[in-house]
Each structure stands twice: as structure tokens, then as C-alpha cells.
Structure 1
Amino acid sequence: MATKSTEKILGEFATRRTGNSLTLTVPKSAGVPEGKKFILVSKDDDTLEYRAAKDNPWLDGTYSDIDFRSELDRVGNYGLESPIGKEKPE
């Protein structure tokens, strides 16, 4: 069974010099928000592929409202406590 392709050609674009780099524009019709990060992949067939970078919750503010120090104090640091009873097999 063939899968349906979701590729959509948005146009043809040329690079332009910006300082010591080359810039490739993204049209507004692509729906990409400003500041979105991408990873550039050079493939074996000499094509370039841009992939959306996955968000990093440690850097993007997702965890900014969590007090990790108080959580460590509350639950302890797993794996660093001494064994109690028979948890440590012979």
C-alpha cells in the first residue's frame, strides 16, 4: 500500500550573502514562527535538509518554575543513598 506524500513545494529561493554567511529565506506562507530553530543535515545524495530542532525543556523555560533543590531535599537523590536491609543482594 502506497503512502501519501505530504510534501509541498513553496517556491525556489536563492542564497544571499549576509556578512560571512549565506542566508536562505523562508517564506511567510510556510507558517514558520520567528526564532524557530532548525538543524541542517547534509545527505549522501548531496541534498540539504532542514529539520525542526527539538525543544530542550532545560533551556526553553519549561522547567523554570520548578525548585529542583527543594525536590531533592523532599525525595532524596535516587541511587546515592546507602542500602538498608536486604536491598543489596549478595
Structure 2
Amino acid sequence: MLNHQDKRRTFQEAQQSVKQVQDAYDDIITDSPGYGHQLQHLKQEANEAFQQIQTALGSASEHQQLQLEQFQKDISSILSELNAEG
């Protein structure tokens, strides 16, 4: 059983991972020569964020679970938008 600090830490790590996904998405320039690399970086960040979220869901409070589920939806939305563009 995780203590309160561990639960908070796992939630904050998931939150930080989602921010990294959003930052990677904001940095993508679709008509740049580095687009493929940027896209790969974004997908890697998204995979890591999904893993962090899954870890955090295992010990999250009800309120945190709702936030984590929203994080998953936000990441999925970003990936869907990219797939629609590509």
C-alpha cells in the first residue's frame, strides 16, 4: 500500500508526463523537415504518459482518478487530431 506522499508523487509524475505530451504537440511544425522526428517524439511521450497514468490510477483518490481519466482523454484527443491531419 502506498502512503500519501507516494500517491501524490505518482499523480504528479502522471501530470508532468501529460504536460510533456502537450509541449511536444505544441512544438510540432507539420511542414518542417523534422516533422517525422517530432511526431515520433510526441508518440513516445504519449506512451510514457499513458504508462504513468496507469501507474497513478492504481493508487489514486476518486478525485485524482477523474483527473487522470481526463488526462487520458486529452492525450487521445491530441493523437486523434494528428492522425486526422496525417
Task: Compute the TM-score of the two structures, normalised by the length of structure 2.
Answer: 0.21
Tell me: higher relative CO, structure 1 or 2? Use CA pairs within 8 A at least 6 residues apart.
2
Higher percent of residues as helix: 2
> Which one has a bigger Cα radius of gyration?
1
TM-score, scaled relative to structure 1: 0.20
Which is strand-richer, 1 or 2?
Answer: 1
